[in-house]
A = this chain, B = another copy of it.
Amino acid sequence: MAHSYNICLDIGGTKILGAIFNEKREIIYRLKKKTKESGDSTDNVEQVIINVVSEMIKESGIKKSEINAIAAGAPGVIDQADGIVLFSPNLPWRDYDIRTPIEKKFGVPFHIGNDVNVGVLGEYKYGAAKGYKNVVGFFVGTGMGGGLILDGTLFTGNKFKAAEYGHMVLDPEGPLCSCGQRGCLEAFSAKKGMSAYVLQQASRGRKSMLTDNIQNGVFKSKMLKKALAEKDEVAMEAVDRACHYLAVATGNMINTISPDIVVYGGGVMEAVGDIFLEKILKEVDRYCMPSIRTTVELKNAALGDDSILYGALSMIEG
């Protein structure tokens, strides 16, 4: 019997994850590699995707004729309808029609969407938000991403730029964010913000096991997990602050959307999600209307690091 496989990618600024799904939505092959190793340069995004997909086909042993479709989540503002990357913060892509060359090369449909939007779609179709209609997603990683499912459909707003509530200002006099604003959620609650807090405390002479692990402005999520397990005081303070502002932002999104569910995903939540969710749940009631709070659930993502891969699959399945 001929197989029908879907190839899904999670393209990040530093690493690419790949998965081949069979007809039962089982992952039969996985790939993980650094973005810069995947092509001569990231300018050549076409080549990056072509190289990765070609490698996955070769290494997995599937036949090219058995591929049904290819899909990817990538950072930035992406026109999902036409497969055009309009803008990407960490990758040098601008108004780039990525669909045409990929479809030409492999002869199958190619879908692409914003990584966090796609991750929330994954949780909506196959994960923690399955069966809900209005979903607010927070993806906590190096930065803070958002994704909205409204009335059962991914909401992308004008020009595919919606759901940037990672840059919701929660304190106009707060710490500077990489986006140029002050006091964004991201500047408090993503790895960037927590790392900045750790470095600030280090400059005041306070020790933390995270300090020496900060590279390019962020520590690794698994190091945060270790620091919390060892009751590292500065790490715990950074997490308390992160969760406080995540609770405020969650309250604001509950008041704004009246969602059925708020889902927390991303690398930080995969590592220490239970700790985060417990702290958020302790505080969130103070920051939203009681009458709206009663009809919303708060949950961690169910698909872990695979949210975006499953979301890519859901774009193929429609």
A contact set with B: CB distance below 8 Å: 77, 87, 133-134, 146, 150-151, 155-165, 167-172, 179-181, 244, 248, 251-253, 255-260, 286-292, 295-296
Contact = CB atoms under 8 A, between A and B. Distances in A.
A174 to B, nearest CB: 10
A291 B256 contact: no
Contact of A289 (B155, B164, B259, B288): B164
Contacts of A167: 255, 288-289
Contacts of A156: 258
A158 B255 contact: no
B157 A258 contact: yes
A92 B67 CA distance: 61
Contacts of A151: 155
Among A134, A161, A295, chain B packs the most CB atoms within 10 A around the CB of: A161
B158 A134 contact: yes
A248 B172 contact: yes
B169 A252 contact: yes
B259 A158 contact: yes
Contacts of A162: 256-258
A262 to B, nearest CB: 11
A274 B255 CA distance: 28
Contact of A146 (B169, B256, B295): B256
15 contacts: A77-B291, A87-B291, A146-B256, A150-B157, A159-B258, A161-B289, A161-B292, A162-B258, A164-B289, A165-B256, A167-B288, A170-B172, A172-B244, A179-B289, A180-B290
Given A156-B258, A159-B258, A179-B289, 6 more contacts: A150-B150, A150-B157, A151-B155, A159-B295, A164-B289, A165-B255
A261 B181 CA distance: 21
Contacts of A292: 161, 164
Contacts of A287: 169, 172, 181
A56 to B, nearest CB: 33
Contacts of A160: 258
- Listed from nearest, the 5 A-B pairs whose CB atoms lie closest are A157-B258, A161-B258, A162-B258, A164-B255, A165-B256
Contact of A248 (B150, B169, B256, B291): B169
Nearest to A290: B180
A162 B292 CA distance: 8
A207 to B, nearest CB: 29
A256 B168 contact: yes
**Candidate in A87, A133, A160, A248 with the most chain B CB atoms within 10 angstroms:** A248
A85 B237 CA distance: 45
A258 B158 contact: yes
